Structure 1
């Protein structure tokens, strides 16, 4: 999720954050997406191993993250309202994860949301969550700005409830010492989770650069918040703690930035899974056998399974070598193959 023009908050975090520094086990039934999430029947809940004659149920459900099509969406080759049908028609995926940037001014537009909801209903598609960016830093050291950031998310909580989602995804953003940011984020998440609870909506935090990409730091934040409707969205690929600064704010400049310090992704996901209410299956490149180059999916999905997670795993293709459609297809095939092996 690193388009510089449209995810400037995330990118700014990756450039400015420093490594933060923990975690207690929690009751899995209260923390993972398998218990608190509204459920739906997905067509991607079974898979067949090569050479096998029978299909077997997967231990998780598959959803599709809208960010997988950010290029098509930003270039207006695809509209936000087209996304649910595309997920179902082109990939057989019946659960979708929205990105607020693609309907930024529509959170309070009930007619627009009703149209989106009807398109989902008409095509048997379930809305899972809304990924929220650009609403302010939850870890801002200025109390007024921090409160404003929390309140800015209220409309997305209400939109998520109306669409039938189980959660909104927020960022643990903030500048300053890791411990100070953590304290501010804990306060903000507590307030937002309280509001979310009144609407039956979970508030989940993704490892999204900087402090939040430190598994120990984010898991300690979850422990401190200690609310049943506040959890994590472990992303397999977002573990960059520190990144080079771009020459300017153009997409080309941001594409040339490099990660200077990275947290171990397997350790990070292991630390975040006890609090997980969603999982993001990030992919960039694939080898000739269809395996993800940057992440060992068998190892990663075993971590997910061992945590007792049975909720949605959202496909999020972010590569440049394949078309967005082909990247999604390869990620879907990989998830089903590995899922069948582990289920």
Structure 2
């Protein structure tokens, strides 16, 4: 009788041990599944970093009179880590002082203080209105080149890797190519000693013909001279004869253009206009564009540049950011 009781107890103990082992294994499996889920999340991190082009805020600055010095604070709050400044947003104060050394130094000091305060990285300054680097005459080109020196110095003082310039000027493709090579070589030679790159955006006119712009880069052939491929600026000719405004009459293939400019890219500008109900850009296939960028081996910053007219600037900036992150998970 005693042996029988012990046998029953032994069986119960064995059954209980098996029960605990089964559920313990099940719990370990859950833990493993959770670990795998965490690892999966890490794997789909973007191959690029996010920066914000200050032009995305141009209505805030010019129309609503928001201080351009809030750039770092706002960009940080919207989830960016890199800053792409626009020179023209500071011209009101700089022109009053005729771009004096003191005025430029104050600009640099304020920008550096804000970027440091909000732990943001200064990347580049987009320069406008400083003369035509591809002007027809050597005198005009030289003057334009020298006008850009102060911005090279500012970029160096801010820790930016580049200044973005425009290649305006010329009345024929051949003339424009020759003048562009000369203007860029002069400026890049000055910028080289400051450890600053001179990069050209496809930005209307001859510069929006990506094959020709790539040819200019190959002719300049300097390590600190490159491109800033923009997803949307491929209008070569407008019906009203303007460079930046008016209905486009002749447009370069945007996907072919970005492909041709990526070998020289030191930055990428993710231009956006409007979005559909699913959050996709209505004019530009971001998945196709970012595949081109990734296939080129690019792993630097991709700058959001919203220019739409339906969403507010803040909404458009966030929509573009989210689209880039969504696309990154799918690539």
TM-score range for the pair, normalised by the shorter chain length: 0.7 to 0.9
> Who is 2:54 aligned against?
66
Distance 1:111 1:238 in 2: 32
Distance 2:239 2:55 in 1: 23
- For residue 87 of structure 1, give the secondary structure of its aligned residue in structure 2: helix
Is the aligned partner of 1:274 residue 2:269?
no
> Which runs of structure 2 are paired with 1:105-184 in the superposition (5 Å)?
106=94, 108=101, 109=103, 110-184=105-179
Q: Report Cα offsets for 1:97-148 as digits up to 9, x if no partner.
A: 0000011254632133212201110110111100001011111111111100
- For residue 281 of structure 1, give the secondary structure of its aligned residue in structure 2: strand
Distance 1:142 1:275 in 2: 27
Unaligned runs of 5+ in 2: 1-38
Unaligned runs of 5+ in 1: 1-51
> Who is 1:80 aligned against?
68
Task: Number of aligned residue pairs: give it.
Answer: 284
> Which runs of structure 2 are paired with 1:7-26 in the superposition (5 Å)?
none
> Which runs of structure 2 are paired with 1:239-278 in the superposition (5 Å)?
239-245=234-240, 257-278=246-267
- The alpha carbon displacement at 1:331 in A equals 0.1
Is the aligned partner of 1:103 residue 2:90?
yes
> Who is 2:282 aligned against?
293
CA-atom RMSD in angstroms: 1.7
**Where in structure 1 do 4 or more consecutive aligned residues deviate above 4 Å?**
none
Is the aligned partner of 1:232 residue 2:219?
no
> Which runs of structure 2 are paired with 1:322-333 in the superposition (5 Å)?
322-333=311-322
Distance 2:180 2:133 in 1: 5
Distance 2:323 2:288 in 1: 13
Which structure has the larger Rg? 2
- The alpha carbon displacement at 1:73 in A equals 0.7
Preserved CA contact (<8 Å) 2:131 2:147: yes
> Who is 2:329 aligned against?
340
Q: Report Cα offsets for 1:241-267 as digits up to 9, x if no partner.
A: 1002279x9xxxx86x20000000000
> Which runs of structure 2 are paired with 1:203-222 in the superposition (5 Å)?
203-222=198-217
Distance 2:151 2:106 in 1: 15
Q: Give the TM-score, by structure 2 length.
A: 0.83
- For residue 54 of structure 1, give the secondary structure of its aligned residue in structure 2: helix
- The alpha carbon displacement at 1:80 in A equals 1.1
Preserved CA contact (<8 Å) 2:132 2:169: yes
Distance 2:55 2:81 in 1: 16
Distance 2:200 2:241 in 1: 26
Q: Give the TM-score, by structure 1 length.
A: 0.80
> Who is 1:30 aligned against?
none
> Who is 1:36 aligned against?
none
Distance 2:228 2:55 in 1: 15
Distance 2:107 2:298 in 1: 33
- For residue 303 of structure 1, give the secondary structure of its aligned residue in structure 2: helix
Is the aligned partner of 1:187 residue 2:175?
no
- The alpha carbon displacement at 1:164 in A equals 1.0
Preserved CA contact (<8 Å) 2:49 2:81: no
